[in-house]
Amino acid sequence: MEKQNNEIDSVAENLAHIVPILKRIFIKGLRTKTNLSPQTLYTLGALSYHKKLTMSGIGNHLSVPKPHVTALVDKLIAEGLVERLSDERDRRIIYIQLTEKGKDTFKEVKRMMTESFRAELSIFDEDKIHKMYECSRYIRETLDEMAKSFQTGCCSGN
Amino acid sequence: MEKQNNEIDSVAENLAHIVPILKRIFIKGLRTKTNLSPQTLYTLGALSYHKKLTMSGIGNHLSVPKPHVTALVDKLIAEGLVERLSDERDRRIIYIQLTEKGKDTFKEVKRMMTESFRAELSIFDEDKIHKMYECSRYIRETLDEMAKSFQTGCCSGN
DNA sequence: GATAATAGTTATAATTTTGTAACCATTATT
DNA sequence: AATAATGGTTACAAAATTATAACTATTATC
């Protein structure tokens, strides 16, 4: 039990450690190449993964205050990248989903993101890359599983 | 070779996908509990790991424009968390390192960061936690290795 | 020794993100 | 039907981050 807690702490420390590195790799490289802010890019990513999200859902996924979600989505709609869908059953709810243009744009964003990363990672041998693939997938799946469970409780009015 | 490229792309996608989740887990929870901004916390983290960094070094690690590094460090010095050291050999260079108070503070920050994460992750069984530990460590080490190699080239004047 | 390059700072502005309060429309509760 | 709760928006302010240009001090180069 003690050992288990130590391992959890190490996981937390390792993951916290890589956040600024990942931000540098993926976000910074994009800033000059697109007129979308990091959060709008995350929004596209969340929509690409979940297909359809409510406004609150987006806020929860990205930990963004609800009023700001409106602004983000407004921006994306102005660019023609997402669209609103109303729920027949509950007319308060608004679903957001990617348009075709949005899907294409996100695909392109992903390509640009991957491009530089590929050069960096390809200095490693095949085994290492494969292990990185497995590890990153495992962490992604586990975090997604975790994320489903917890309500942020963040930012009042969210 | 094709397979390898596909795997690299997946790694990039997986890692990009977890960034907002990690930000939510580690950063958002801290905001109310400390008067330090995310970037100053990252700075403490980088200093805790590297022991000693130049101003430019900090900027490179966090992809922060050099002028802003000055502001971040000024803030940390005002809080008594870091100190400047001049290099005898080259008097242009200023090293930054944690003070004792800085070490203690960062330890406490890490504790707070871990606390909530522990509750989330502990719903999983021992094997899964152990695997998360191994995967996170592997990714951390690989990214650190990668990070050493690449110069950001980001932000003019950095 | 003059010139260029490097490390860091000052000053300033724009953009992005975060935080709050008040509000409308719709649905749920009583 | 009145009241409360939910989902979303509007309006506004504050904080954090990013971006530039111009500058000082020091070291490297020619």
Q: How far is CA B109 from CA A69, B32, B33, B137, B144, in A?
A: 29, 12, 9, 20, 22
A70: nearest nucleotide, CA–C1' criterion: D9
Hey, are the CB atoms on A135 and B132 less than 8 Å from each other? no
Query: Residues of chain B whose pLDDT is less than 50?
Result: 152-157
Give the minimum alpha-carbon distance from B84 to chain A in angstroms, rounded to a whole number.
Answer: 23
Is residue B59 a part of any domain in this protein? yes
What per-residue confidence (pLDDT) applies to A146? Answer: 86
Residue A131 bridge partners (DSSP): none
Which long-range contacts link B140-147 to residues 24+ away (Cβ below 8 Å)?
Answer: B140/A14, B140/A17, B140/A18, B142/A124, B142/A128, B142/A132, B143/A18, B143/A21, B143/A22, B143/A25, B144/A21, B146/A120, B146/A121, B147/A21, B147/A24, B147/B61
What per-residue confidence (pLDDT) applies to B102? Answer: 98
Size of interface A-B (CB pairs under 8 A): 204
Q: What Å value separates CA B60 and C1' C14?
A: 22
A113 or A83, greater pLDDT? A83
Is residue A145 a part of any domain in this protein? yes
- Residues making up chain B, counted from first to last: 158
What per-residue confidence (pLDDT) applies to A158? Answer: 56
- Asked if A58 and A43 touch (Cβ cutoff 8 Å), the reply is yes
What per-residue confidence (pLDDT) applies to A1? Answer: 64
Residue of A43, A126, A143 to mutate, testing the B interface (most B Cβ within 10 Å of its Cβ): A143
Hey, are the CB atoms on A132 and B110 less than 8 Å from each other? no
Is pLDDT of A152 > 50?
no
- What is the pLDDT confidence band of residue A155, given thresholds at 50, 70 and 90? very low
Q: Which two tokens stand for residue B152?
A: 């950001």
What per-residue confidence (pLDDT) applies to A27? Answer: 78
A117 or B55, greater pLDDT? B55
Is residue A19 a part of any domain in this protein? yes
Nearest chain A residue to B115 by CA: give it.
Answer: A9
Is residue B158 a part of any domain in this protein? no
Summarised one tens digit per residue, pLDDT across range A44-86 is: 999 999 999 999 999 999 999 999 999 999 999 999 999 999 9
Which long-range contacts link B77-84 to residues 24+ away (Cβ below 8 Å)?
Answer: B79/B36, B79/B105, B81/B44, B81/B105, B81/B106, B82/B43, B82/B44, B82/B47
A23: nearest nucleotide, CA–C1' criterion: D17
Is residue A155 a part of any domain in this protein? no
Q: Which domain holds residue A96?
A: 2-149
Closest CA to A143 of B109, B12, B128, B144: B128
Is residue A142 a part of any domain in this protein? yes
A62 vs B29: CA distance, rounded Å: 13
Is residue A8 a part of any domain in this protein? yes
- Asked if B39 and B64 touch (Cβ cutoff 8 Å), the reply is yes
Summarised one tens digit per residue, pLDDT across range B23-57 is: 888 887 788 889 999 999 999 999 999 999 999 99
Q: What Å value separates CA A62 and C1' D5?
A: 24
Summarised one tens digit per residue, pLDDT across range A87-102 is: 999 999 999 999 999 9
Using DSSP, state whether B21 is helix, strand or coil.
helix
Give the minimum alpha-carbon distance from B136 to chain A in angstroms, rounded to a whole number.
Answer: 6
Q: How many domains are there within chain A?
A: 1
What per-residue confidence (pLDDT) applies to B151? Answer: 53
Task: Kindly report the CATH number assigned to the domain that includes residue B87.
Answer: 1.10.10.10
Share of chain A above pLDDT 90, in %: 72
Give the residue-averaged pLDDT of A8-24.
Answer: 92
Is pLDDT of A115 > 90?
no
Is residue B40 a part of any domain in this protein? yes
Task: Judge whether residue B78 contacts strand D, using its CB and a 7 Å cut-off.
Answer: no
